[in-house]
Each structure stands twice: as structure tokens, then as C-alpha cells.
Amino acid sequence: MGPTSGQKRFHAEGELASVRGASAAKTAMVVSSRASYPIQEIAASRPPRSGISLPRAGYGCAARRIDEAVDLGCKALCITIGGADWSAIDRLRRGLRIPVVLKGIMSPEEARAAIGKGIEGIVVSNYGGQPRSGMAAPIEMLPAIAEAVAGKAPILIDGSFRRGADILKALALGARAVMLGRPPLWALAAYGSAGVQTILELLQTELGRDMAMCGRPNLKSLDPGVMKIHARRPSQP
């Protein structure tokens, strides 16, 4: 599950329900720095296999939040970038005991720069924006970015993944995992933690079924050979 802010807008328990549902579905969750509940309450709700996401924040404030999240058991730091400020990123990484993942990579050049700086993972993402005419979607940039990274760090991706077949395409094109946004939120709004667990397990089941139909028995067997890319659909007004 990718970072989404203010989940209490969708359900009274917000991130508390989401982390329970994600944990039950054996799925990692990235907690937004703008969550409805403090990270202490989210961690106490269910020991999470999660990271904490920090969109833009002042260094002193961010450093305190990172230390607190690490002490509570978070497994990675996900930093959303809008043009990498390497001096700030380097300060946040100093002395950190967990991997750092950069979210917002949209070109091979950005990916190479991140890997060259020792970043442990990247997220191909356009911050949830819908592609406009002439703008690439994250999955369109994924093959070139995967080639640039050349297996030196795991690649994640977000952007309108709705079915198991969508996830299969991303994994076949070089992603290690997919970050989900809206589907878990819709499930959270309708059924709370049980809804989150159900939608995640449904997508896992669909992915397994679609892999079997392609004759791919495991994730390592996925490659671009299962894909046939046609012309891109025109953007909607």
C-alpha cells in the first residue's frame, strides 16, 4: 500500500484499520507523514511491515519523525521528491539504520543519479497525477528506468493499478512491487480493515491466476515476453 494522507476521511479508524488489513493480507504499508493518526498509534494497532513516507518537510522536524518511526519498527524511509535536493536527502540519511527509497523518479537519468548516490530503492511515480497529452505515465517510463538501474536496486511503481493483470505488467517490465493507492481506500471506506484485507488478497489471487495463464509459475519467471505493447490510448479531456 502506498502513502495516502488523511485516511480518516474515508473511515473512522483510518490508518489504524488500513495497517490491520494490510498486515492480515501480508502486504507492506507505507504510512504517510500526513496520516490522520500519530505513528505511535498506527504501530501499536498492529506491528507493521511498513515504512514512513515523508513528502516535503523541514530537516529538523523530519529527522525527529524518522528517528521515532525507526524506534517503532518501521522498515524503510520513503522520501517523495519533486526534484532531488541531495544535500537535504544526505542529511536525512546520515546515521540511518534502515533503507531509503526515493518516490517520484520519472527518467533513467534520475534513476542513475539515485543509484549513484547509494539510494537503496526507487519508486517510479508522477505523484498520482493523471497523464496529460504528451506526458508519460509511470509504466511507460518503467522499461527504460529498469534498464538504467540494471538490477542494482529494487524498483517500485505506482499509478492506476486496479487489477492483477495491471500488476503483472509492471512486474514483467522490471518492477519488484507495485504501490496501491485508491483501491485500498475504496475498500477502507466501504468495509474498514476487512475491506482492505479483501481487496489486497483479491489482487494477489488475480495476479497468481494471470501468471498461471501466461505459463509463468513464479515471479522470477516474469519478463517482457509476456507483454505486447500497442499504441497508447489518447488522454481524456
H or E element at residue 79: strand 76-80
**Neighbour-count burial for 10-29, b at 16+ CB within 10 Å, e otherwise:** bbebbbbbbbbbbbbbebbb
Is the model's pLDDT at 49 over the cut of 70? no
CA distance 228 to 210: 15
- Say what the pLDDT of residue 25 is: 95
pLDDT of residue 128: 56
pLDDT in tens, 146-181: 999 999 999 999 998 999 999 999 999 999 999 999
Q: What is the CA radius of gyration of the chain?
A: 18
Where does the pLDDT of residue 82 fall: very low under 50, low under 70, confident under 90, or very high at 90 and above? Answer: confident
Q: What is the pLDDT of residues 88-139, one digit of tens each?
A: 889 888 888 899 999 999 999 999 999 999 999 999 998 755 555 567 899 9
d(CA 162, CA 37) in angstroms, rounded, equals 27
| pLDDT tens sequence across 55-79 | 655 566 788 888 888 998 889 999 9
Quick one: cell of 195?
Answer: 475491506
Question: What is the average pLDDT across 207-233?
Answer: 89
- At 175-204, the pLDDT tens digits run 999 999 999 999 999 999 999 999 999 999
pLDDT number for residue 52: 65
Residue 234 has which C-alpha cell?
A: 489518447
Give the integer Cα–Cα distance in Å for 56 and 62.
9
For residues 216-220, average pLDDT: 94
The whole-angstrom separation of Cα 149 and Cα 175 is: 11
* Non-local CB neighbours of 3 within 8 Å, separated by 6+ positions: 30, 31, 32, 33, 53, 55, 78, 80, 103, 179
Q: Which pLDDT band holds residue 237 (cuts at 50, 70, 90)? A: very low
Tell me which DSSP letter residue 236 carries: P
